[in-house]
Amino acid sequence: MSTLVIGTRGSKLALWQANLVADTLRATHPGIEVRIEVIRTTGDHIQDVPLARVGGKGLFVKEIEEALRDGRADIAVHSLKDVPDTVPEGLVLAAALPREVPYDAFVSERHDRLWDLPDGARVGTSSLRRAAQVRAARPDLEVVPLRGNVDTRLRRLREGLDAVILAGAGLRRLGLQDRIRELLTPPEFIPAVGQGVVVVECRERDPETRRRLAPLDHAETRVQVRAERSFLRTIGGGCQVPLGAHARLEGDRVVVIGMVARPDGSLVLRDEVSAGASEAERAGEDLAQSLLDRGGRDILRELEENPPWGT
């Protein structure tokens, strides 16, 4: 068999995910050779600026997708929450692996719950979605910008922060689940679209690679992904808009909860819709339209006129 080259970011978490895909491919297709190629992305280069200020889409995937298109890589492994609502022409998300815990995690050295923090406590995150929901729940707290890999963010707890909010999936994958004090769950805290999902991208016109990836695609996760990404495409925005959605399966139906908010947390719009699992995209669209009609358009207009991190 020819060698499959995996394009990935070089962080500890990204490499863990790439190796998961590599090991799964080797187990599924005995004798296959898989090699990992680290590719540095724009998001990796920019560590001292909030992502919403940087703007643009695909800060953590663009360079990897370029390697796919020019043949330097055969497949790309991403955290789905980093992937824009549409992929470039000629590429396809061929597999979504079984989802890890999708929720945000509250991490602190001294406090067990977000609600236990004292007035004025400092909470680190650079996600507009996380910040808006923290501010809505606890307007007395100070939200502090926080970038960097997982180890860097955890280190900030020893350097003056009272708590940080991180993806529970990343902590669990790195064996750091004991650092999780509390999982922040819906309806008060809604995760990012695709949070906890590892996806594999390849060239659309590469039937052999798509055949090899097909067994990695997890049916339940795929339904969730279809609903959540349909919501994202319909509502628009990305990292410059505080928004989130999470889909779950209940029998043969998919239930999607979503939110869009002002960055200061003064208004958080939430709603939930359901549909048959075969109509997952429609569920995501209906949810987005509901939130847009209930004030989401006004929030998007405000953010366009007054970007949350300035111009």
Condensed to tens digits (0 to 9), the pLDDT of residues 116-150 reads 999 999 999 989 999 999 999 999 999 999 878 89
Q: What would the two tokens of residue 183 be?
A: 């999982």
What's the farthest any 2 CA atoms get from each other in the chain? 60
Condensed to tens digits (0 to 9), the pLDDT of residues 281-294 reads 999 999 999 999 99
Catalytic residue among 82, 85, 162, 271: 82
pLDDT, residue 59, reads 76
pLDDT tens, position by position, 22-31: 999 999 999 9
CATH topology for the 104-184 domain:
D-Maltodextrin-Binding Protein; domain 2 (3.40.190)
Residue 100's closest CA among 200, 178, 174?
174
Q: Tell me the pairing of strands 268-276 and 253-261.
A: antiparallel
The pLDDT value recorded for residue 311 is 36
Do the Cβ atoms of 163 and 124 come closer than 8 Å?
Answer: yes
Which tens digit of pLDDT belongs to each residue from 289-308?
A: 999 999 999 999 999 888 87
List of residues 6+ apart from 173 with CB closer than 8 A: 13, 16, 17, 100
How many whole angstroms separate alpha carbon 273 and alpha carbon 254? Answer: 8
- Structural domain boundaries of the chain? 1-97+197-217, 104-184, 219-311
pLDDT value at residue 143: 96
The yes or no reply on domain 1-97+197-217 and CATH 3.40.190.10 is yes
Q: What is the DSSP string of 103-120?
A: SEEEE-SS-SSGGGSPTT
Looking at residue 51, its pLDDT comes to: 55
pTM of the model: 0.92
Q: CATH homologous superfamily of domain 219-311?
A: Porphobilinogen deaminase, C-terminal domain (3.30.160.40)
Strands (DSSP E) found in 48-153: 75-79, 91-96, 104-107, 122-124, 142-144
82 is catalytic: yes
CA distance 133 to 131: 6
- Ranges of residues in the chain with a pLDDT under 70 are 1, 43-57, 237-239, 309-311
Hey, what are 184's tokens? Answer: 């922040």
Question: What per-residue confidence (pLDDT) applies to 57?
Answer: 61
187 cis-preceded (ω within 30 degrees of 0): yes
**CA-closest candidate to residue 65, choices 46, 84, 45:** 84
| Domains 1-97+197-217 and 104-184 in one fold | yes
